[in-house]
Amino acid sequence: MTPNTNAPKEQLVYAEILFYGCWTGIVIMIVTYFLYVSGLINPHVSMELVTKYWSLPVHDYLVENNVPIGWGWLNLITKGDFINFIGIALLAGLTILCFIYLTFAYYKQKDMKFAIISFLEVLTLCLAASGIIGGGAH
Amino acid sequence: MKPNTWKLALAGALAVVAMTALAWAAESSGVGTEAAAQLAAAGAKSALPWWAWPGILLVFCFILGIIAVLAGVGGGVLFVPLVSGFFPFHLDFVRGAGLLVALAGALAAGPGLLKRNLASLRLALPVALIASSCAIVGAFLGLALPTNVVQICLGSTIIFIAALLLFSKNTARPVVTKQDAIGLALGIHGAYIEPASGEIVEWKTHRTLWGLLLFILIGIMAGMFGLGAGWANVPVLNLMMGVPLKVAVGTSKFLLSITDTSAAWVYLNQGCVIPLMAIPSIVGLMAGSFVGVRILAVAKPSFIRYMVIGVLLFSGVKALLKGLGI
């Protein structure tokens, strides 16, 4: 019997989500960056302060510039620097979306091992994204 | 995996552990004066206007993207040591940007690899679950450890990667006579068409458990240093688990999109992403990669490969010395 060299359906759907999501994220990132550096939208932290403090460890940088951590950036979404996080968050969130799809796809196929692996991956990535587990950034 | 590669991998891992211990000792004896120096330096304004930095980064990362493709390495592995060595940004921000650079590159490459069946979901999923959860641990470890300790570990790892690139000999089609129980239970196998010959290549894994266990270490290192981890993924998938080189490279690249996602969120939530420097880095490296792929068709990559090994050795030693305060 000739082996099947075609990618499985769930793999193709995953690729489609990734393709459109990734390029949307990159385009958003470029547009928001232009709005930021052109000065069309005022930033929360001025360019001078960013360049002055970016050689400091992250904790000191955040304190000096009054920058929130976790999802606090959402409160500053109208600021030129934080609007950039829309594209970045989209890129970082794409894989979660893909794995939610995979969980359902494998469940429908009654492939329970991979449905569980996919679901655990969703939990892992959501845990990382949630900011619930906090570390001691120096 | 060939015995020599194993010995090299073991020696490298031991070296990293030894250097970590050395770094802790140095830290406790008060060698690290970096923070004080940085605080003093921070008072001084940059000699360049702010708008010069994104431009310099964009051009620098564009060139880096071309070189990375020609040398067959990921962008992150060049970005982190070089940018932390030659730019004024703190290592925390360089690692945050490095992860986003590796993530964006992997996300852009993923669809093509998945569609052509050169990246296998069935192979990637179990590996990704282990690597991505360990990358979270690595990211926290990297952010909690003193900077000079991370610099020393990073330097040791970069030197190890250079040695790995120099000495490891991947196998195009490893011989797997019998699939192991775990590989069989998870159905980790596949087939693809070799474009040059039109031949159908079937593959399956062996030593799956050992391969999965090694991804604990790979995940931690990916999160800790923000390097991406293609340099480690490929030898483990290919030499250890017996996956054909093409599928190992494709799955490794795709895998980065999952592993780096978890670590990237940690860095993002901890405030380690500065858009002013991160976005030109991502865009520059991606644009450079596209150009690099076109140049690859006419270039002689072996010279570039040795050049990159030299650059990695240099930047690894630089990071090591910086961490040791020399």
Q: How far is A108 from chain B (nearest CA, A)?
A: 16
Is residue A137 in a domain?
no
Instruction: Give the pLDDT band of residue B6 (cuts 50, 70, 90).
Output: very low
Please give the ipTM for the structure prediction: 0.91
Q: How confident is the model at residue B23 (pLDDT cuts 50, 70, 90)?
A: very low
pLDDT band per the 50, 70, 90 thresholds, residue B235: confident
Write the DSSP symbol of residue B200.
E
Res. A129 pLDDT band, cuts 50 70 90: very high
Instruction: Supply the pLDDT for residue B301.
Output: 60
Query: How far apart, in whole angstroms, are the C-alpha atoms of residue B115 and residue B183?
Result: 22
Lowest-confidence pick of A27-36, B55-64, B77-86: B77-86
Q: What is the pLDDT of residues A92-119, one digit of tens each?
A: 999 999 999 999 999 999 999 999 999 9
pLDDT, position B226: 75
Whether residue A4 is contained in a domain is answered as no
Q: Is residue A2 part of a domain?
A: no
What is the pLDDT, as a whole number, of residue B68?
Answer: 80
Structure tokens at B134: 């360990």
> How many angstroms separate the CA atoms of B108 and B201, rounded?
26
Chain-chain contact of A61 with B191 (C-beta, under 8 angstroms): no
Question: Band of the pLDDT at B109, cuts 50, 70, 90?
Answer: confident
- A132 at interface of B, judged by CB pairs closer than 8 A: no
In this predicted structure, the answer to whether residue B129 has a pLDDT above a threshold of 90 is: yes
Contact between A52 and A114 under an 8 Å Cβ cutoff? The reply is: no
Which residue type sits at B68? A
Query: How many contacts (CB atoms, under 8 Å) link A and B?
Result: 220
* pLDDT score, position B281: 95
Q: What is the DSSP letter of B203?
A: E
Nearest chain B Cα to A113, which residue? Answer: B186
For residues B162 and B19, give the distance between their C-alpha atoms in angstroms, rounded to a whole number: 17
**Closest in A6, A68, A125 to B261, CB measured:** A125
**What pLDDT, on the 0 to 100 scale, is given for residue B211?**
93
List, as one string, the DSSP characters of B63-81: HHHHHHHHHT--HHHHHHH
Cβ of residue A5 closer than 8 Å to a chain B Cβ: yes
Structure tokens at A138: 């120096």
Q: Which of A5, A15, A57 sits opposite B92 (nearest CB)?
A: A57
Instruction: Round to whole Å and give the CA distance between B287 and B295.
Output: 13
Write down the residue that tokens 């991370």 correspond to: B150
pLDDT band at residue B299 under the 50/70/90 scheme: low
Is the pLDDT at A26 greater than 80? The verdict is yes
List the structure tokens of B282: 């991502």
Contact A54 B274 (CB under 8 A): yes
pTM of the model: 0.82
| Mutation target among B141, B199, B279 for the A interface, most CBs of A within 10 A | B279
Angle, CA of B217, B223 and B224, to the nearest 5°: 85
**pLDDT at position B72 over 70:** no
- Predicted local distance difference test score (pLDDT) of residue B276: 95
Give the dihedral sign, CA B169/B174/B177/B181: positive
pLDDT category of residue B134 using cuts at 50, 70 and 90: very high
**DSSP E strands: which ranges in B175-324?**
189-193, 200-204
* Closest residue by Cα to residue B322 from B38, B93, B112: B38
| A122–chain B Cβ distance below 8 A for any pair | no
Strand partners, B191: B202
Q: Per the domain annotation, does A84 fall within a domain?
A: yes
> A11 and B121 in contact by Cβ < 8 A?
yes
Task: Give the pLDDT score at B161.
Answer: 82
Q: What is the pLDDT of residue B297?
A: 65
Looking at A11-20, A98-107, B156-165, B181-190, which range is the least confident one?
Answer: B156-165
Give yes or no for A110 touching B (CB within 8 A): no
pLDDT for the residue B325: 82
Residue A54 Ramachandran class (φ > 0 left, ψ -120 to 50 alpha, else beta): alpha
Neighbour tally for B281: CB within 10 Å: 28
Instruction: Output the six-digit token pair for B125.
Output: 């999923």
Measure A64 CA to nearest chain B CA, in Å: 11
For residue B266, the chain A residues in CB contact (below 8 A) are 128, 135
What residues of chain A lie within 8 A of the CB of B136, using their CB?
124, 127-128, 133
pLDDT reading at B184 higher than 80: yes
Asked if the model's pLDDT at residue A87 lies above 60, the reply is yes
Q: Are B195 and B260 in contact (CB under 8 A)?
A: no
Q: How far apart are CA A79 and CA A63, in angstroms?
A: 18
Q: What is the pLDDT of residue B172?
A: 80
Cβ distance of B51 and A47 shorter than 8 Å:
yes
Which pLDDT value is given to residue B222? 84
Q: Is the predicted pLDDT of residue B60 greater than 80, yes or no?
A: yes
Separation of alpha carbons B284 and B65, rounded Å: 7
Q: Search chain B and give the residue with CA nearest A67.
A: B271
pLDDT score, position B16: 44
**Is pLDDT above 90 for B165?**
no
Mean pLDDT is highest, among B81-90, B170-179, B274-283, for: B274-283
**A136 falls within a domain:** no
The answer to whether B162 touches B309, Cβ cutoff 8 Å, is yes
Q: What tokens were used for B19?
A: 């250097």
For residue B62, pLDDT over 60 is answered with yes
Task: Of A127-131, A134-138, B16-20, B303-307, give the range with the top mean pLDDT.
Answer: A127-131
User: pLDDT tens-digit profile of A37-70?
Assistant: 999 999 999 999 999 999 999 999 999 999 998 8
Q: How confident is the model at residue B65 (pLDDT cuts 50, 70, 90)?
A: confident
- pLDDT confidence of residue A131: 83
> What is the distance between the alpha carbons of residues B196 and B219, in angstroms, rounded to a whole number?
34
Q: Is residue A88 part of a domain?
A: yes
Q: Which pLDDT does position B158 carry in this prediction?
A: 85
- Contact assignment for B262 to A128 by CB distance below 8 Å: yes
- What pLDDT was estimated at residue A54? 93
Q: Which of B46, B139, B277 sits opposite A52 (nearest CB)?
A: B46
Note down the domain range covering A111.
Answer: 9-130
Q: Which residue in chain B has the smallest CA separation from A16?
A: B111
Q: Give B22's pLDDT tier (boundaries 50, 70, 90).
A: very low
Q: Is residue A1 part of a domain?
A: no
Report, as an integer, the average pLDDT of B111-135: 91
| A105 in contact with B, Cβ within 8 Å | no
Q: Do residue A58 and residue B90 have CB atoms under 8 angstroms apart?
A: yes
Average pLDDT, chain B: 81
Predicted pLDDT at B229: 78
d(CA B57, CA B51): 11
Per-residue exposure over B138-177, b if at least 16 CB sit within 10 Å of its own CB, e if not: bbbbbbebbbbbbbbbbbbbbbbbbbbbeebebeebbebe
What is the number of domains present in chain A? Answer: 1
pLDDT tier at B175 (50, 70, 90 boundaries)? confident
pLDDT of residue A97: 96
For residue B296, name the pLDDT band (cuts at 50, 70, 90).
low
- Say if residue B85's pLDDT is above 80: yes
B27 with B149: CB under 8 angstroms? yes
Shortest CB distance from A92 goes to which of B53, B147, B268? Answer: B268
Cross-chain residue pair A138–B115, CB shorter than 8 Å = no
